[in-house]
Amino acid sequence: MRTFTILIANGPNLGHIGRRQPEIYGSRSLDDLPELIRDILGPEKAGRITLEHFQSNGEGQLIDRLEEAMRQGVDGIVLNAGAYTHTSLALADCLAWIGIPCVEVHLSNILARNDEPLRHKSLIGRSTIGVIAGFGLHSYALGVCALWQRFMDTAQHTPKE
């Protein structure tokens, strides 16, 4: 059975998930992600997914890693670009051209952040297959599940040789 590689990519200030502002972002860390994915998809499907993790506070480093993912043949990306979500045309352009299905995720509900209306807009969302926000670490697990479903839907519509 085919396995799938998914890159979990995090932008600025996301190197301390579970410790940074838990009242906003939750207290679970990325170490908990495989367990959440198993709980949602089940052990058989989850066992066919390999997660790679990357975090950078630099926009250029994120773009470099996404381009590297394309060269490596990574199957999907779950991306929390942090503040770059709202400001980075370069990141949006990169996602548009690399051709890897990507789910934009956020720990908090960016639309409910009334104190910061800038956070209501996503420049990268137009280059993704979907956006999941507001579920803490579950946002990442749901992003992986969305990619899994995309892989399965694509496989059903691919002609057999």
Catalytic residues: 25, 106
CA 90 – CA 123 distance, rounded (Å): 10
**Nearest alpha carbon to residue 84 among 35, 38, 39, 119:** 119
CA 81 – CA 104 distance, rounded (Å): 8
Length of the chain, in residues: 161
Tell me how crowded residue 13 is: count the other CB atoms within 10 A of its CB.
14
